Amino acid sequence: MSLPPESRPADTGVIHDIGYRGYAGPRLGRAYAARSLFTQSLRAAYGLGRSGKSKVLPMIVLGVATVPALVIVAVSVMTGSGDLPVDYAEYLRNISLVISIFLASQAPVLFSRDLRHHTVSLYFSRPITRADYVRAKFGAMACAQFLLMLAPLLVLYVGSLLVGLKFGDQTEHFLYGLVAAALYALVPTSVATVIAAATPQRGFGVAGIMGYLAISASTLGIVVGSSLDRLDFGEELPRSTQWAALLSPEGLVESLVNELFDLGSDPERLHAPGGLGLLVFIAVAVAMVAGSYRLLLRRYRKV
């Protein structure tokens, strides 16, 4: 039996003001959030802002990539050589293993970790879109790779000027090295980011990237080695073998740079075979980067 209205207890609810106020500051918006994600990801690639053990491998790799350049400069100073014993782009090719280790170890840090900890949805609860996320992460990894290669190139360049080598020649070849670094930072990195984003397990990402780079480079090496066995001493690699550089992203970049800037005098050097080959190699490089970016966008539409 319900009570009459006049006999019901009065509503005693009270609203308490506990001091919360609405945000009245500036709204920095989507662009600022995307830039912040890029900066944070770039720092994370070198372990900055993370635990001490996260900095060990990136800093070791940076040191291993840079110390040989210091040694080269020191030898040039002591011997009074009139030129550096290695060209800038050639130096990057010689440390390609170090660059691959950095790429394989740090790309999963930027991509796999967010998937493993289910934090991707938190990013998308903010103004940034999935395309913003992919651009920020992809750009951060490419910039981290570029900075890794820029450090030894700067050591070689500054050292060559201190030794007294010709400013014009060194500046020209330094620019060639920068183009090579940019290509190395884009082409292999694009494929590595797709592999890293395919799994939330960092170990699988590292193994997948190193496996892809090692298998593609080994396949190219086998093709080139078998051709060398059939050639006479000093004979150049045939064009059919030069096309095999398309099998490896690193070989593709090396061939492009050598052909674009006419670098290297070794008969065994890789280079895009002629004008048509140069166009094909450029098209493949662009397709690898653009295709990988599209795959990343498709991957994060499903997250």
pLDDT of residue 202: 87
pLDDT for the residue 19: 72
267-297 burial by CB neighbour count: b if 16+ within 10 A, else e? Answer: eebbbbbeeebbeebeebbeebbeebbebbe
Return the closest-CA partner of residue 143 out of 175, 181, 115, 94: 181
pLDDT recorded at residue 286: 96
Look at residue 234 in the predicted model and tell me its pLDDT.
63
Q: How far is the C-alpha of 51 from the C-alpha of 296, rounded, in Å?
A: 28
3-state SS of the chain: helix, strand, coil percent to 5?
A: 75, 0, 25
pLDDT band of residue 180 (cuts 50, 70, 90) is very high
| pLDDT per residue as tens digits for the range 128-161 | 888 999 999 999 999 999 999 999 999 999 988 8
Residues in the chain, overall count: 303
Handedness of CA 162, 167, 169, 172 (dihedral sign): positive
Residue 124 CB partners (closer than 8 Å, separation 6+):
130, 133
Burial of 4 by CB count in 10 Å (0-12 exposed, 13-18 middle, 19+ buried)? exposed
| Cβ contact 216:191 at 8 Å | no
CA-CA distance, 46 to 141, in Å (whole number)? Answer: 10
Residue 117's alpha-carbon distances to 63, 108, 151, 278, in angstroms, are 31, 13, 33, 43
The pLDDT mean for the chain works out to 87
The tokens describing 197, both together, are 């984003």
Look at residue 95 and tell me whether its pLDDT is greater than 80: yes
